[in-house]
Amino acid sequence: MKIIYNNIIPFQGFIYINLFGVLFSRKKYKGKINPKNLNHESIHTEQYKDLGYILFLPLYLLEWFIKLPFSLFYKQPKDRIISHIAYKSISLEQEAYYNENDLTYLDNRKRYSWIKYIFSMYDINKKKK
C-alpha cells in the first residue's frame, strides 16, 4: 500500500484516510504509523479491491446513513456520540476494527469478509481477535 504524507489530506484532527487503496497521512505522523493501524488500513485496501475500488465509498456512506438512526437506540458508553456509533457499525469498519490486532489476518482473509457484518452494530465490548 502506498502512503502519502502531506498537510492537506486527511483533514486536521484525523491521522489517516485510505482513498482507493492509497493511505494519506498528515506529515507530522511520518514514521509513526504503528502495525495495528497499518493492518487496519490494509484491510480497507482489500475491501476496496473486493468492491472494484468504485463501490467502496458509496457503500460506506450509504451504510453510515442507514445505521445512523439505529445508533439512537444502541447501548454504548455515554461518551460516544451517535455518528461515531454509526461509523463504527459500518460493515467495512467492523471487519477492520475486529481484525486489526491480528497481523496475519490478511494472509487468510476471504474476499467479501465484511458482508457478515452488514446487519450488525459495532459492539464496543466485543473482544477483538
Whether cis (ω within 30° of 0) applies to the bond prior to 10 is yes
Quote the pLDDT of residue 21. Answer: 95
**pLDDT value of position 43:** 98
Task: Work out whether strand 16-19 and strand 22-26 pair parallel, antiparallel, or are unpaired.
Answer: antiparallel
pLDDT of residue 30: 93
The DSSP element (H or E) to which 25 belongs, if any, is strand 22-26
Q: Contact, 103 vs 39, CB < 8 A?
A: yes
Q: Inform me whether the pLDDT recorded for 128 exceeds 60.
A: no
Q: Is the dihedral of CA 110, 112, 116, 121 positive or negative?
A: positive
pLDDT digits (tens, 9 = 90+) for 21-78: 999 999 999 999 999 999 999 999 999 999 999 999 999 999 999 999 988 877 666 6
